[in-house]
Amino acid sequence: MKDSSKIFINYRREDTSGYAGRIADALASEFGEDNIFIDVTKINTGSDFTEVITQALDQSRYLLILIGNTWLNCKDSAGNRRLENADDFVRKEISLAIKRKVKLIPVLLEGTRMPDASALPDDIKDLCKWQAIEITDSRWKFDVERLIKSINLRKKLFVFNRKLALPLLLVLSAVIAFGIWKKNSNGNITHPSTPKDYYSSAKMFELSGDFANAQKSYKQYLKFNLPYIDPHLSYQSMLKSQEGINAARQEYKALLSTNATAVTTFANALLADREIAIKNLLQLVKQYPDFAPAFYELGNEYSQDKLGERSLTEKSLERTYLTEFLHLDSLGDNQKYYIDKAIAVQQTKDAVTRLKQADYTTAALKNQVEMIYMLANDGWHLYTNIGEPATKIYYKFNNDTGYRATGLAGYQRSGREVPDPDMFVGRLKNGQYPVSVKYIDMKGQEQGPFSFMLDTQKERMISVKKNLAQMNWVSFQKYDNKLLVYFTSLLSDRDVIKAINYSLNNESLSQTFPVQPWTKGGIPEMQEHIYIEAPSSTKYIAVKLTFIDGSVTELKRFDNEAATE
C-alpha cells in the first residue's frame, strides 16, 4: 500500500532532528498525519530505505528542506563534507525532488543563512532558486503559520447531505464570487489605502510568489510609521531569502535614515552581525529604556542556542536582560509592539523558561572564584575553585609587583589542557597576606581580579580544630614495663596550641605539659620532649587545650584501654 504523503520533510539528524519532529507535528495538525512524510514515522524496520524514499517523493507535492547552522558543512567520520557524497540521503532526496519537479521550501532555522549556490553540488544548486522561510523559537507560532500558509494542499470535502444543499449552494456561490474577485485582483485589495490594506496585500503577493509587488506593498505600509515589529520581521525575511542579507541591510539603512524610531532602529539592529547588533541594541535601550523587545533580543544574543558553550559572564548577561524584559513585559511594554500578540506571548513563555534554567547562575556568580588554603609540610598551598572552565589562571601574592601564571595541570577528561589551580607560596609566619587572582575564561575574556586575604593563624585554627574533633589527642603505650602517655599529635600543631593542661585519673587539670612555641612558619617540627611517664594504675587522662588566640577547648577524657581489660 502506497503512502499518501504530500509533504516530505528533508533534514539531517545531526543538524535539525529536534526541529523536524516539531514541524512535522505542526503540519500534521493542519493537514493530517497521512499527508506528512518523515522518516522516523513512515519507514518501517526492514524496509528498503531508497525505495521508500523514492516512492514518497513520487507522491509528494512539497519538499521541506530544514537547514540549520551545520547543514552545509556537516562532515562524516572520515572528515569529508557529507554533501559531496552523491549517496548522502539529504542530497539524494533534494536531487530526486528537483528531477520530479517537486516544490521546494527551504526552511532556515535559528538565523541560518541561505547557502550560496556555488557551495552546493550541481544536482541540488536549484535549491537556491526557491523562496526560503525562516523559523526561530522566539517566533515559533508566527513562523510556523507562515509556513502553513505557503503550502497549498486540497483538503477533503465532507460527504454531501441533502439537508446541506442550500447552505452548500450559498457557500459555492461565495467561492465562485471570490474566484472572480481573485482573478481580477490577484487576491489582493484592488485599491489599498490603509496600513492594514498594504500589509495584507504584501502578505498575499508574497504567498503568491509576486515578490516585486510584495516589496512595493511593504514599502507603502512602512510609510505609515506604525510601531509594530512583526511586519518588519516578515519584510526582512522576504528580503533576505530573495535578495540576500546585504540587500536587506541596505534597504533598512535607507529606511532608518528617514525614520529613526525605536522600532525601525530595532529592526535595523536585527540585520547586523552579532557584535554590531549588540552595540546597536545597547544604544537603543539607553535611548529608550522601556523598549522591552530590545532586552529580549539582547538576551537571545547571549543564549545557549546562539552561543552553544558559554562563559559565566555570558550566562549572567542573558539572565540580566531577560529579567529586565519580563519586568517591562509585565508593564505592557512588549505586546504593544506586535500585531500578532501570540509572538509576544511566546517570547514571555520562552524568557520565563530560560530564567528558571539559569537560576544557578546567580549562585555561581556569588562564588565565581573561591580560595581554599592548606598548610603542608613544604608550606602553604592556595587552591582556586572557579565556577566555570578557565584556560589560564594568574595570581599575585603579598608584595608581588605583577601577576604570575599557575601553569598547566595537564590533560583532563575533556581532552584539553587546563590551568593548575594550585598556587604554592611556601612557609609563612602567622599573619595576613593579600592574594589577587584573575583568569581567562573559555571565550578568551579576562575575569577579575578577585581579591582575598590569607590569614594564616585563622586558617590554621580552623584546620586544627576540625582535626582535633576527629582524632585522639594522646596515646598510651607500654615500654620497658613503663606506661608512657604521648602528646605527639598535639605537638604537631604547636604553632597554634599555646598550652596543654592535663590530669591523671581525675579532672582537676592540675598539670601542664611543656609546649615549645613555633613561629618559623609551616607545620612545626617535632620537639624533643613528647611524652610523660604515668603510673601503671592510670585509667584515663583528662586534657584541655589553650590556643594562641586565647580560646580553649572543652575538657576531653581519653581512656587507657589496657587498664580496663
Q: Are 15 and 71 in contact (CB under 8 A)?
A: yes
Q: Scan for cell 525601525, then name that residue.
A: 264
Q: Does 222 share its domain with 242?
A: yes
Q: Does 22 share its domain with 125?
A: yes
**Any domain includes 160:** no
Residues of the domain holding 297: 183-359
Q: What was the pLDDT predicted at 410?
A: 63
**Any domain includes 407:** yes
**Any domain includes 336:** yes
**Any domain includes 53:** yes
> Which residue among 341, 359, 377 closes a domain?
359
When divided into structural domains, the chain yields a total of: 4
Q: What was the pLDDT predicted at 188?
A: 58
**Any domain includes 318:** yes
> Which residue among 459, 492, 522 closes a domain?
459
pLDDT along the chain (565 residues), means of 10: 69 83 88 84 60 85 92 88 91 92 91 88 92 84 86 51 45 46 53 89 86 92 93 91 88 91 95 94 96 95 83 87 93 93 91 78 69 89 88 93 87 66 91 94 88 93 92 93 94 94 96 93 90 94 96 95 69
CATH at 194? 1.25.40.10
Q: What was the pLDDT predicted at 47?
A: 59
Q: Does 197 share its domain with 332?
A: yes
Single out the residue of 536, 533, 534, 555 nearest to residue 544, CA to CA. Answer: 555
**Any domain includes 304:** yes
Q: Does 213 share its domain with 329?
A: yes
Q: What was the pLDDT predicted at 229?
A: 95
How far apart CA 199 and CA 217 sit, in angstroms, is: 7
- Residues 6+ positions from 380 with CB-CB distance below 8 Å: 373, 374, 424, 425, 426, 427, 428, 454, 456, 522
CB-neighbour burial class of residue 267 (10 A; exposed 0-12, middle 13-18, buried 19+): buried
Single out the residue of 95, 100, 102 nearest to residue 124, CA to CA. Answer: 95
> Which residue among 359, 390, 408 closes a domain?
359
Q: Does 16 share its domain with 119?
A: yes
Q: What was the pLDDT predicted at 432?
A: 94
Q: Does 31 share its domain with 84?
A: yes
Task: Please report, as a single letter, which amino acid is at residue 465.
Answer: K
**Any domain includes 178:** no
Q: Helix, strand, coil % (nearest 5) of the chain? A: 45, 20, 35
Q: Does 385 share its domain with 454?
A: yes
Q: Does 328 share its domain with 213?
A: yes
Q: Does 202 share its domain with 345?
A: yes
Q: What was the pLDDT predicted at 43?
A: 55
Q: Does 219 share its domain with 324?
A: yes
Q: Does 263 share its domain with 333?
A: yes
pTM, two decimals, is 0.51
CATH at 384? 2.60.40.3760
Q: What was the pLDDT predicted at 150?
A: 84
Q: What was the pLDDT predicted at 411?
A: 52
CATH at 144? 3.40.50.10140
CATH at 530? 2.60.40
Q: Does 327 share its domain with 391?
A: no
